[in-house]
Structure 1
Amino acid sequence: MSRPQKLKEVVPGLGRILQRFYPYIRKQQRLITVSMLALFAEIGLRLLEPLPLKFVFDEIFSEQAGREFTTLTFVQSLDTRLLLILSAAAVLSISGLRAISAYWNTVGFALVGNRILTEVRSVLYCHLQTLSLSFHNSARSGDLTLRVVSDVGLLQEIVVTAFLPLLANCLVLVGMLSIMVWLNAQLTMLVLALVPLFWLTTLRLTRRIREVSRQQRKREGAMAATAAESIGAIKIVQALSLEDKFASVFTGQNKKNLKHGVKAKRLAANLERTVDVLVGGATALVLWRGSELVLDNALTPGDLLVFLSYLKNAFKPMRDFAKYTGRLAKATAAGERILDLLDQSPEVYNSPKAKPAPPFVGLVQFQSVSFGYQPGHPALQEIDFLAYPGQRVAIVGHSGSGKSTLTNLLLRLYDPTDGEILIDQHPIRDYTLESLRAQMSIVLQDSLLFATSIWENIGYGSPSATQADIIAAAKLANAHDFIMALPQGYDTVIGERGVTLSGGQRQRIAIARAAVRQAPILILDEPTTGLDKANEQEVLDALERLTVGRTTFLIVHDLALVAKADCILYIERGRLLERGTHQELMGLNGRYASLYRLQAAEQEQIHYPVQEDTNAFAR
Structure 2
Amino acid sequence: MTQPTQIFPGLGKVIRQFWPQIRQEKALLSVSIIGLVIEVLARLLSPWPLKLIFDYVLLPDANSTDLPVLGEVNPSVLILILALSIVGVAGLSAMSAYISLVSLSVAASRMISDIRSQLYRHLQRLSLAFHYQAKSGDLLTRITSDMDRLRDVIINHALPLLINIFTLFCMVGVMFWMDWELALIALAVLPVFMFSTVSITQRIRKISQRQRRRESAMAATAAESIGAIKVVQALSLERVLEQLFVHDNRKSLEESARTQQFSAGLKRTAEILVAIATALVLWRGVYLVQLDKASPGDLLVFITYLKTAFKPTRELAKQMAKISRGVVSAERIIDLLNVEPEVRNAKDAIAAPPFQGTIKFENVSFAYQGNQDTLQNLSFEVKPGQRVALVGPSGSGKSTLVSLLLRLYDPHSGRILIDGQDLRRYQLDSLRNQISIVLQDSILFGTSIRDNIAYGSLGATDAEVRRAAKLANAHEFIMALPDGYNTLMSERGATLSGGQRQRVAIARAAIRKAPIVILDEPTVGLDNKSEQAVNQALKRLTQGSTTLLITHDLSVSKDFDQILYVEGGQVLEQGTHQELMHQGQHYAALFQLQSVVYPEQPTLSPKTLSA
Would the TM-score normalized by the shorter structure come out above 0.5?
Answer: yes
Q: Check the 8 A contact 1:571/1:578 in 2, yes or no.
A: yes
2:447 pairs with 1:452: yes
Correspondence for 2:306: 311
One-letter amino acid matched to 1:122: S
Offset at residue 160 of structure 1 (A): 3.8
Q: Check the 8 A contact 2:365/2:411 in 1, yes or no.
A: yes
Q: Following the alignment from structure 1 to structure 2, what is the Cα–Cα distance between the partners of residues 490 and 21? A: 42
| TM-score, normalised by the number of residues in structure 2 | 0.96
Offset at residue 253 of structure 1 (A): 1.3
Correspondence for 1:244: 239
Matches within 5 A, 1:428-507: 428-507=423-502
Q: Check the 8 A contact 1:559/1:596 in 2, yes or no.
A: yes
Matches within 5 A, 1:210-359: 210-359=205-354
Offset at residue 210 of structure 1 (A): 0.8
Q: Following the alignment from structure 1 to structure 2, what is the Cα–Cα distance between the partners of residues 53 and 285? A: 22
Offset at residue 322 of structure 1 (A): 1.6
Q: Following the alignment from structure 2 to structure 1, what is the Cα–Cα distance between the partners of residues 175 and 389? A: 86
Correspondence for 1:419: 414
One-letter amino acid matched to 1:108: S
Alpha-carbon displacement from aligned partner over 1:382-428 (angstroms, at most 9, x marks no partner): 11111111111100110000000000000000001111111111111
One-letter amino acid matched to 2:31: V
Match of 1:369 among 355, 364, 376: 364
Correspondence for 1:19: 16
| TM-score, normalised by the number of residues in structure 1 | 0.95
Q: Check the 8 A contact 1:173/1:317 in 2, yes or no.
A: no
Correspondence for 1:171: 166
2:55 pairs with 1:54: no
Q: Following the alignment from structure 1 to structure 2, what is the Cα–Cα distance between the partners of residues 107 and 67? A: 45
Q: Which runs of 5+ in 2 are unaligned?
A: 603-611
Q: Cα gap change, 1:392/1:296 in structure 2, threshold over 3 Å: closer, same or farther?
A: same
One-letter amino acid matched to 1:15: G
Q: Following the alignment from structure 1 to structure 2, what is the Cα–Cα distance between the partners of residues 606 and 360? A: 36
Q: Check the 8 A contact 1:569/1:580 in 2, yes or no.
A: yes
One-letter amino acid matched to 2:45: L
Q: Cα gap change, 1:381/1:453 in structure 2, threshold over 3 Å: closer, same or farther?
A: same
**Could you say what secondary structure the match of 1:309 adopts?**
helix
Q: Check the 8 A contact 1:157/1:328 in 2, yes or no.
A: no
Offset at residue 138 of structure 1 (A): 0.4
Q: Following the alignment from structure 1 to structure 2, what is the Cα–Cα distance between the partners of residues 286 and 292? A: 10
2:175 pairs with 1:180: yes
Q: Following the alignment from structure 2 to structure 1, what is the Cα–Cα distance between the partners of residues 593 and 218? A: 47
Q: Which runs of 5+ in 1 are unaligned?
A: 608-619
Alpha-carbon displacement from aligned partner over 1:199-245 (angstroms, at most 9, x marks no partner): 11112211111111111110000000011111111122222222222
One-letter amino acid matched to 2:17: R
One-letter amino acid matched to 1:447: S
Q: Check the 8 A contact 1:112/1:160 in 2, yes or no.
A: no
2:69 pairs with 1:74: yes
Q: Following the alignment from structure 2 to structure 1, what is the Cα–Cα distance between the partners of residues 320 and 67? A: 46
Q: Following the alignment from structure 1 to structure 2, what is the Cα–Cα distance between the partners of residues 417 and 183? A: 73
One-letter amino acid matched to 1:522: V
Correspondence for 2:28: 31
Match of 1:148 among 123, 130, 143: 143
**Could you say what secondary structure the match of 1:359 adopts?**
coil
Correspondence for 1:126: 121
**Could you say what secondary structure the match of 1:399 adopts?**
coil
Q: Following the alignment from structure 1 to structure 2, what is the Cα–Cα distance between the partners of residues 385 and 151? A: 48
Offset at residue 436 of structure 1 (A): 0.3
2:187 pairs with 1:192: yes
**Could you say what secondary structure the match of 2:375 adopts?**
strand
Correspondence for 1:541: 536
Q: Following the alignment from structure 1 to structure 2, what is the Cα–Cα distance between the partners of residues 58 and 433? A: 78
Offset at residue 321 of structure 1 (A): 2.7
Alpha-carbon displacement from aligned partner over 1:539-587 (angstroms, at most 9, x marks no partner): 1111111111111110011111111311111110101111111111111
**Larger mean Cα displacement after TM superposition, 522-531 or 394-403:** 522-531
**Could you say what secondary structure the match of 2:467 adopts?**
helix
Offset at residue 375 of structure 1 (A): 5.4
Q: Following the alignment from structure 1 to structure 2, what is the Cα–Cα distance between the partners of residues 330 and 178? A: 32
One-letter amino acid matched to 2:59: S
Alpha-carbon displacement from aligned partner over 1:18-55 (angstroms, at most 9, x marks no partner): 11001100000111111111111111111111111110
Match of 1:404 among 390, 399, 402: 399
Q: Check the 8 A contact 1:440/1:519 in 2, yes or no.
A: yes
Q: Check the 8 A contact 2:63/2:295 in 1, yes or no.
A: no
One-letter amino acid matched to 1:437: R
One-letter amino acid matched to 1:69: S
Correspondence for 1:615: none
Q: Check the 8 A contact 2:437/2:519 in 1, yes or no.
A: yes
Alpha-carbon displacement from aligned partner over 1:109-155 (angstroms, at most 9, x marks no partner): 11111010000000000001110000000000011000001112222
Q: Check the 8 A contact 1:570/1:579 in 2, yes or no.
A: yes
Q: Following the alignment from structure 1 to structure 2, what is the Cα–Cα distance between the partners of residues 144 and 468? A: 38
2:584 pairs with 1:589: yes
Q: Following the alignment from structure 1 to structure 2, what is the Cα–Cα distance between the partners of residues 174 and 68? A: 28
One-letter amino acid matched to 2:24: K
Alpha-carbon displacement from aligned partner over 1:85-120 (angstroms, at most 9, x marks no partner): 001011111111111000000101111110100000
Q: Following the alignment from structure 1 to structure 2, what is the Cα–Cα distance between the partners of residues 558 and 90? A: 90
Q: Following the alignment from structure 1 to structure 2, what is the Cα–Cα distance between the partners of residues 261 and 320? A: 18
How many correspondences in the alignment?
Answer: 602
Offset at residue 316 of structure 1 (A): 4.1
Correspondence for 1:512: 507
One-letter amino acid matched to 1:109: L
One-letter amino acid matched to 1:594: A
Q: Check the 8 A contact 1:452/1:493 in 2, yes or no.
A: yes
2:546 pairs with 1:551: yes
Q: Following the alignment from structure 2 to structure 1, what is the Cα–Cα distance between the partners of residues 588 and 314? A: 81
Q: Following the alignment from structure 2 to structure 1, what is the Cα–Cα distance between the partners of residues 70 and 6? A: 53
2:133 pairs with 1:138: yes
Q: Cα gap change, 1:303/1:533 in structure 2, threshold over 3 Å: closer, same or farther?
A: same
**Could you say what secondary structure the match of 1:522 adopts?**
strand
**Larger mean Cα displacement after TM superposition, 71-80 or 286-295:** 71-80
